[in-house]
């Protein structure tokens, strides 16, 4: 019965695609936030710091992270670093992202690498284009689609190891 319910949910999700956002821990040093719609990755942000930077309080399970529609054409990716909020603002109208005093053009880009997020001044490490097609949801697989995309890129796989 549970498999039937899962299959029905999958069919409903496939029939009525919508915008997705999410995030999570990818390694002891990297946290991800992402945007997607209709099975396509729009933007993946990899936040990297020293090991355990997002597990600073025993009462918290991972970092506080979110993706917020800020109205109009702006979206905000937010993580909490040692209680200090860090925001990446994405402006769809200008096709740019802004973090601290840095502007990042998003033309031909769907991955942002943000480094030293546990320091006073973060470092923008680079951008990348990956195949944006997310793998179809498989209710019996434990792997999420973003992890599958990362595994297909040697550069992103290497980014998670350092």
Per-residue buried b or exposed e for 115-137, using 16+ beta carbons within 10 Å of the residue's own CB: bbbbeeebebeebbebeeebeee
pLDDT in tens, 17-36: 445 666 778 888 998 888 88
Q: What is the mean pLDDT of residues 124-139?
A: 79
DSSP3 helix / strand / coil % (the chain, rounded to 5):
20, 40, 40
- Comparing CA positions, the residue from 114, 110, 102 lying closest to residue 44 is 110
Query: pTM for this one?
Result: 0.76
- What are the pLDDT digits (tens) for 88-130? 899 988 999 999 889 999 999 999 999 999 888 899 999 999 9
Contact 45, 33 (CB under 8 A): yes
* Phi, psi angle pair for 14, to nearest 5°: -70, -35
């Amino acid at each position: 019965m549970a498999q039937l319910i899962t299959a029905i949910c999958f069919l409903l999700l496939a029939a009525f695609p919508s915008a997705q956002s999410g995030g999570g821990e990818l390694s002891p040093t990297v946290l991800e936030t992402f945007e997607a719609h209709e099975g396509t990755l729009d933007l993946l942000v990899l936040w990297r710091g020293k090991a355990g930077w997002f597990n600073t309080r025993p009462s918290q399970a991972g970092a506080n992270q979110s993706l917020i529609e800020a109205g109009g054409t702006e979206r905000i990716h937010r993580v909490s670093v040692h209680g200090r909020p860090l925001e990446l603002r994405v402006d769809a109208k200008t096709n740019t992202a802004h973090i601290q005093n840095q502007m990042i053009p998003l033309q031909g880009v769907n991955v942002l690498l943000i480094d030293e997020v546990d320091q006073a001044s973060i470092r923008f490490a680079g951008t990348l284009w990956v195949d944006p097609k997310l793998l179809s949801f498989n209710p019996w697989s434990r792997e999420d689609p973003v992890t599958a995309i990362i595994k297909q890129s040697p550069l992103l796989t290497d980014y998670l190891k350092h």
